[in-house]
């Protein structure tokens, strides 16, 4: 059974002006997501700026999210690392706190071989008893999890149950679907490819867009799952301009600005991420107004 179907938000980590985590704003954002129909929360992923959090801070954020959600929807903790021992530690702690699953990004910088990726994911997943979702985002990690490796892991490791595919390569994603024969759930990792990936058997998205448009992102997925592909496609195309605006600079710079514009939380980022360029702020505002979320 799938960990979730539909729209999982890759939730931002709100921060105060001094860079510390703003837990009150985080609570507000979590409630907005649940009220907006979001189907799962993915905490401390790329969008959550986990890369610049200490392990203690990372785990505190995960624990707070799990306690705030309190079982209403699944919480999936980003626990990936380019160090296998660290990924195991973070995953075990997330399980201890009550996470419903973990999201494991491919090791970045090391540029592991496919055998290295296999061993990394296998050992990490086997160290816990909750489901694990692989996360393939070669544009950020410099490392591509090939379809054959995904299929091997799906066959050999029972609790590897899904993959967030953000390669952008539809042909590769089709190969994953063909080789895994339904053994692994596929989630779009790109908001502009939800419908194309669901047409290949995907069951939802792990979404940046959902931070600012939870109801709309849920509806794109739900319409498809309900069999109304035409309406799902229409909603996908309607969202395209905002999808592009949210990636006019590297994620999560634009989405944090979007949430600030909505009055949900501050737009503070941690270096080396910096404030959205003024011209891009205007582009983002225009797109949000057009889409009806500002």
Alpha helices in 76-213 (DSSP H): 84-97, 114-126, 138-141, 147-156, 170-180, 194-198
What's the farthest any 2 CA atoms get from each other in the chain?
Answer: 49
Tokens linked to 272: 């080396």
Q: Which residue has the tokens 């694990």?
A: 132
Is the distance from CB of 215 to CB of 196 less than 8 angstroms?
Answer: no
Active-site annotation, residues: 135, 164
Phi-psi region at 65: left, alpha or beta (left = phi > 0; alpha = psi -120 to 50): alpha
Tokens linked to 176: 């994953």
Report how far residue 294's alpha carbon sits from residue 290's, in angstroms, rounded to the nearest whole number. 8
Q: Which residue, among 80, 53, 12, 52, has the nearest Cα to 252 in the 3D structure?
A: 12
Report how far residue 99's alpha carbon sits from residue 91's, in angstroms, rounded to the nearest whole number. 9
Report how far residue 221's alpha carbon sits from residue 55's, in angstroms, rounded to the nearest whole number. 33
């Amino acid at each position: 059974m799938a960990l979730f179907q539909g729209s999982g938000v890759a939730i931002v980590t709100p921060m105060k002006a001094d860079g510390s985590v703003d837990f009150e704003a985080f609570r507000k954002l979590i409630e907005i997501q649940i009220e907006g129909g979001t189907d799962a929360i993915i905490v401390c992923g790329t969008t959550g700026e986990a890369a610049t959090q200490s392990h203690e801070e990372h785990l505190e954020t995960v624990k707070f999210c799990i306690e705030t959600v309190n079982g209403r929807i699944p919480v999936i903790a980003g626990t990936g690392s380019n160090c296998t021992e660290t990924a195991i530690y973070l995953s075990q702690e997330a399980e201890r706190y009550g996470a419903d699953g973990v999201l494991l990004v491919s090791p970045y910088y090391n540029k592991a071989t496919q055998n290295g990726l296999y061993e990394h994911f296998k050992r990490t997943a086997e160290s816990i008893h909750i489901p694990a979702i692989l996360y393939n985002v070669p544009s950020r990690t410099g490392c591509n999890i090939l379809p054959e490796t995904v299929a091997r892991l799906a066959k050999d490791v029972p609790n590897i149950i899904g993959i967030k595919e953000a390669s952008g390569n539809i042909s590769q994603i089709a190969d994953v679907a063909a080789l895994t024969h339904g053994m692994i759930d596929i989630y779009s990792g790109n908001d502009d490819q939800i419908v194309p990936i669901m047409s290949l058997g995907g069951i939802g998205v792990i979404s940046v867009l959902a931070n600012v448009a939870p109801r709309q992102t849920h509806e794109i997925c739900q319409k498809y799952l309900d069999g109304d592909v035409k309406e799902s496609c229409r909603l996908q195309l309607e969202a395209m301009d905002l999808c592009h605006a949210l990636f006019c600079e590297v994620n999560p710079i634009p989405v944090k600005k979007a949430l600030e514009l909505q009055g949900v939380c501050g737009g503070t980022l941690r270096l080396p991420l910096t404030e959205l360029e003024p011209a891009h702020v205007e582009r983002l505002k225009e797109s949000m107004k057009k889409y009806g979320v500002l």
